[in-house]
Structure 1
Amino acid sequence: MGNRHLYSRLLLVQSETSAYVEKVLENVFLKYLSFQLKIIPERMELQFGFILLVSVGLTYGVAPYHDPHCGGKQVIVHLFEWKWTDIAKECERFLGPKGFCGVQVSPPMEHAMITTDGDRPWWERYQPISYKLTSRSGNEAQLKDMVQRCKAVGVRVYVDAVVNHMAGLGRKGVGTAGSTFDSDARDFPGVPYTKDNFNDRSDCPSHDGNVNNYGDPKNVRNCYLVGLTDLDASQEYVRDKISGYFNHLISLGVAGFRVDAAKHMWPKDLEGILAKTHDLPEGGRPFFYHEVIDRNDGAIKVNEYFHLGYVTEFRYMQKVREGASGDLGRLGAVYDPGWGMAPPDQAFVFVDNHDTQRGNEALTYKNGAEYKRAVAFTLAYNYGFTRVMSSYYFTDNSAGPPRNADMSAKDVIIKADGTCDNGWVCEHRWKSIGNMAMFRNAVTGTSVDNFKYENGVLSFNRGNKGFFAMGSNPFSISVNTGLPAGEYCDLISECAQKIRVDGSGHAQVSPKDPTDPFVAIITQGGNHIAVSNNPDVGNPTTGHVVANTLPPYTPSGSQNFKRTVIMIEKQTNPGQDLFIRGGIDYAHRAGCSASAALSSNPCAIPIRHINPGSSNHFDKVKAWSVGDNFLDWGGPEPGQGSNQGRQPEGTPAYWSTNDHSNSGYSPLNNYGNHYWIVDVEMDCSKTENGFFEVKAVVSGVWESDSSTSAPCSGLGSQRLPYTTKNHFAKCGYKNVFHFNSQTCQISSL
């Protein structure tokens, strides 16, 4: 077992154990290193295994900071310098419906106010004054509202965290939250930090105190980066302040953090900070990705940070620029492990960011077609976790966002054609970028097959889940898509054209818009065009909807959790949805109470929603599933998501049919129209001998009581645990009921 691997396991234990056990483990590890053991004695390894098993229950893996907590979605967008109020609207009107995982927001902490040439530069946001949540983007109340509204539509928020340093030398005054500061005196009373909390000049080997030798880790991590006052994060006090900042944001609903300038922080200091950072309220460690610029030109390597989360891969940015700007065939070798690039499961990748678009090293929105090719390819390929950029127009590299006369940022205005106005670029809304989020979500986990570059056209399929093609110019090609026969919706044109795949997997492919030479089709949630027969299903803009294939189900591995499906037949009126409530009867178990916290209520059963697919048909149920962690007898859970301001009435179900041409098609449905489905993993250990109760609710009206508690067909001679006037379902099985009816069937999944 390598040192780094062992230490990351010990860090995992640190976040779950008492301070005493933490210290014991730290001492054991230090002794292990000091003796430079090559092999851990068998008995010691068993002891480590026992401690890990007891203290964490195998809840997390070796590196628990890689989960973005967005239901398996794969694309983040950086809404650079957007106001919180505008981000909330964008989550609801665009990011949620398009299947984006989350949004990276500009640093929300109090920052310096700097005026140069009548403008306030973007980089003032990277000069912290305190961890108070008032910035150019808005105040804490607006931030909290935005985070909650985004979460309600399935979009998580990740904060750009500036914690390596405070404001730069030579600055003094008042920050955006009213805190005074004096950088030269290292005096930041809004935190508070004093001179003792910063790296001392004696710890920095450079002659002027600034970073000037990237071949020396001590120079990079102990000296001041371009004069920014460098915090000494080896101090527990500093770690407490930074982790406290993180924890406050987590309490507001933030799901993770981009750590700015992580390259300039010692990994052991980040380990100490992350160990003090809380789990998310819904469970799990926060998502982290670290800015580590490694171009094979210095002592700091990306692999030093792998156990702490994803790591930015700047070499990818260089590779994709070279391919998208010239010979597209070079994109087939965009991942080069021989060049030291991070492996796909560790790399955080992008075409440009707010720094590089102000230099000459990256493609940006200013490069037009080349930029579109680079981003579309990035979202279609299978390397890394992806982020796309959303910018504002600028000519001066220091220019701040579009502003009003009072220096406040301008509103983001959306025009009738879906593009942005008021000085905002909104690359994420370009069709060849925004529509590729659904593609990446659908093909995640598949390989790149049939990679082909010929006559200026690049194409490949992602297993049997998706096909992508792009060219430097308009094209028409006959190609093996690798997909099943059928008629598919072109995502790039937003279903304005169909691609017909024959029985051999071949198709004639060309872009709908010659100025946007891309084609993307998927078999999951984005293929066969059909007109809905259900008034609740459809695209209000085109009248067309998309058929669905369930994503592959992968068990979570939790011993007591079993996939459980509840189906209830009910034809509803337009605008109505069906919800279920249930668990164990309060009269049957002691300690059950409507006022008890669900986590301690023995009649509530823990559940985890399974992704139903990426079609727009599921937008409502996915929004309502956020924060729905129990099957219980109450209404919406604290923090449960809403859909366009509408609150759920319990655990949400989605409408389904057995009609393959309908967007509500589900392979779970072998029966007909109007079967509402709840598909979850359920903790069977919390049921009554495998059984639990369930009842449907529509528009506040409960399903009527049943006059009998006879077993459902399919159970054979199994006895029900007690008598109830509700439906009895079985954990780990498919349970089919009919609204206001005693008829039911239970079968294996």
Structure 2
Amino acid sequence: MDTKNRLAFSFLITWVCTCFLALIIGLTSNPTPAKADVIYHAFDECFANVTAKLPEVQAAGYNYIQISPPNKTPSREDDACTSDKYWYIQYQPFDYVLEGNLGNEQDLKDLIDAAHERGIKVIADVVFNHMANYRFYKDVAPFPEAYPLYPKKEYFREAKCISNYNNSYEVENDWLCSPNDKEGLPDLRTDLPYVQQKQHEYMQKLIALGVDGFRFDAVKHISVEDLGKIVEVIPEDKFYYGEAIGRNFDESMKYIPVFPKVTDFQLVNTLKSAFVYGGDLRSLVNPADSQRALPGDDAVTFARNHDTWAPGQFDNWKFDKNDLVLATAYVLGRKEGTPLILTFDAFEPTIVAGTKFHEKMMGESQYYRNGNEIAESADSPNLLFIERGDKGLTIINKAAETFDVTAAKMPGLGVGCYSELQYDFEMCVDYGGDGQKYINKWGSPNRGGINIGPRTALFFVKNEA
């Protein structure tokens, strides 16, 4: 090979290597958006208390913690570390400094660092639609001079309460008021670059402290256009979602271009109908197909969150205590959605079993098995069977009576034995003489079939060979 050809060949090899290196760098420098598994909602909990609770949170299988808004708000008449009576004060920002009722910046930093040591990530709740009611600051300075970040009237919308929640213009531009708060919450001009800049700076400060994501409060009160500009500073590797209490499927989904996920209140409504007396659990088969739930990739799911827990609001979405546990078991047993579990429910034994099941079943497919494929009497409005690949099974019985059959087929699961995660017994599946798969062991080698108690959920995971 002459000198000219050697130079050309050398250039070609260098070019190919450079292009390959650039491709590798490109692939590794654009991380996919973060996904959470199960979120523990440390609602209205002081940061030091959450830090002390981390071993319990980790043992229960939660790998994300969502904290209440950490910024400065009006002072509370209760002890925020022991009472949730005045929880709503946390959603009335006075300033974006980290000197809130739940702890200071160091308390938050200590929580984040301790959580990260355990492999747990932290999501911060942020409130950008409005500021605290001015009545708290009448003795401080005239409106709006009392607010350090927004001391000019031009940063706020006209003081006018929302009167028609079906009018999207009012919902996005007027003030949030209530019978107990007729003055309302001063609504920020989130379209202004200055307002957006202050909100960017606040999120960047939280990210610098180590926060791994955000929950955005009251997003339906901010235009989609404004929201798009507010979230643009969030890195791709952070998990974030919007609280959208949509009146219907389409209203909730309109925020998906801005947020990777939003709260699935459509599913809450569907769950309520299924678990109420006379409801049918078979209505929970693939509810997103009929817009009775949001698509799983777009949804943060729950049976209750702090909005539906709070006294005096959303009473139509409140569950009976036992129904709440079973509805949450459904949320954790299915593939779709990112489950959010409220602090008051997080350590109930069935829910802990469901949290561990959800974690173990990540990546497994899902199939709602028709009861008549299992046993004649299993096709019932009170029973639901959710298979996860051939490795897991959730069974829910909402009836007040035990469901007991001595022979039950299990066509979707692989041959082998499965451990139940709460009650710690074994179910085994093997082929029968007719070539079909049956449950040949249920707790005891002396019996097969299914025996599930009243108002009970069970979670089975295949034993490793």
Q: Output the TM-score relative to the length of structure 1.
A: 0.50
Higher relative contact order (CA 8 A, sep 6+): 2
Distance 2:285 2:418 in 1: 29
Query: Counterpart in 2 of 1:351?
Result: 303
Aligned positions of 1:216-235 closer than 5 A: 216-226=167-177, 227-235=184-192
Distance 1:305 1:466 in 2: 31
For residue 313 of structure 1, the aligned residue among 254, 264, 275 is 264
Q: Do the aligned partners of residues 512 and 136 (structure 1) sit closer, same or farther apart at CA in structure 2, a change above 3 Å counting?
A: farther
- In the TM superposition, what is the alpha-carbon distance from 1:86 to its structure 2 partner? 1.9
Contact (CA 8 Å) 2:404, 2:452: kept in 1 or not?
Answer: no
Provide closer, same or farther for how the CA distance between residues 119 and 85 of structure 1 changes in structure 2, counting only shifts above 3 A: closer
The residue matched to 2:403 in structure 1 has which SS?
coil
Question: What does 1:461-540 align with in structure 2 at a 5 Å threshold?
Answer: 461-472=387-398, 473-477=401-405, 478-480=408-410, 482-493=412-423, 496-503=424-431, 504-507=436-439, 509=442, 514=453, 517-523=456-462, 527=463
| TM-score, normalised via structure 2 length | 0.79
Contact 1:160 1:260 in 2 (8 A): yes
Secondary structure of 1:429's counterpart equals coil
CA distance in structure 2 between the partners assigned to 1:274 and 1:119 by the alignment: 29
Q: Quick check: 1:437 aligned with 2:389?
A: no
Structure 2 counterpart SS, 1:519: strand
> Which residues in structure 2 correspond to 1:56-455 (within 5 Å)?
60=30, 66-68=33-35, 74-91=37-54, 93-115=55-77, 121-172=86-137, 185-199=143-157, 201=158, 209-226=160-177, 227-277=184-234, 279=235, 284-296=236-248, 300-326=251-277, 327-333=279-285, 335-339=287-291, 341-357=293-309, 358=311, 359=313, 360-364=315-319, 367-391=320-344, 427-445=345-363, 446-452=365-371, 454-455=379-380
Work out the CA distance in 2 between the residues paired with 1:337 and 1:172.
49
Deviation at 1:56, TM superposition (A): 7.5
Distance in 2 separating the partners of 1:57 and 1:506: 46
**CA displacement at 1:382 relative to structure 2:** 2.6
Distance 1:337-1:499 versus aligned 2 partners, 3 A rule: closer
Distance 1:512 1:159 in 2: 43
Give the drift of 1:500. Answer: 1.8
C-alpha distance in 2 between matches for 1:119 and 1:339: 34
1:660-700 CA-partner distances (Å, limit 9, x unpaired): 4xxxxxxxxxxxxxxxxxxxxxxxxxxxxxxxxxxxxxxxx
Q: Work out the CA distance in 1 between the residues paired with 2:140 and 2:369.
A: 59
Residue 294 of structure 1 and its aligned partner are, at CA, apart by 1.1
Separation in 2 of the partners of 1:328 and 1:429? Answer: 27
* Residues 112-139 of structure 1 deviation map (CA, whole Å, 9 limit, x = unaligned): 12449x9961111111111111222211
The 1:236–1:389 alpha-carbon spacing in structure 2 relative to 1, beyond 3 Å, is same
Output the CA distance in 2 between the equivalents of 1:441 and 1:110. Answer: 35
Q: Deviations over 1:388-443 (max 9, x none)?
A: 1123xxxxxxxxxxxxxxxxxxxxxxxxxxxxxxxxxxx21111101111211222
- Kindly indicate whether the alpha-carbon contact (under 8 Å) linking 2:419 and 2:425 is maintained by their aligned counterparts in 1: yes
Shift of 1:505: 4.2
SS at match of 1:111: coil
Distance 1:428 1:384 in 2: 17
Structure 1: tracts of 5 or more residues without a match:
1-52, 174-179, 202-207, 392-426, 528-546, 548-659, 661-749
Change (3 A) 1:337 1:222: farther
Task: Report the Cα distance in structure 2 between the residues aligned to 1:483 and 1:289, rounded to whole angstroms.
Answer: 34
Name the one with the larger helix percent: 2
State the Cα distance separating 1:353 from its structure 2 match. 1.3
Judged with a 3 Å threshold, the aligned counterparts in structure 2 of structure 1 residues 186 and 334 are, in CA distance, closer, same or farther, namely farther
SS in structure 2 of the partner of residue 502 of structure 1: strand
C-alpha deviation, 1:303, in angstroms: 2.3
Q: What displacement does 1:479 show?
A: 4.0
Counterpart contact for 1:379–1:440, Cα < 8 Å: yes
* Contact 1:432/1:516, CA 8 A, preserved across alignment: no
* C-alpha separation in 1, matches of 2:343 and 2:223: 30
The 3-state SS of whatever aligns with 1:488 is strand
SS at match of 1:500: strand
Quick one: distance in 2 between partners of 1:492 and 1:512? 15
Give the conservation status (yes or no) of the 8 Å contact 1:88–1:149.
Answer: yes
CA contact (8 A) 1:113 1:120 kept: no
Computing the radius of gyration from Cα coordinates, the structure with the larger value is 1
> What is the RMSD computed on CA atoms of the aligned residues?
3.0
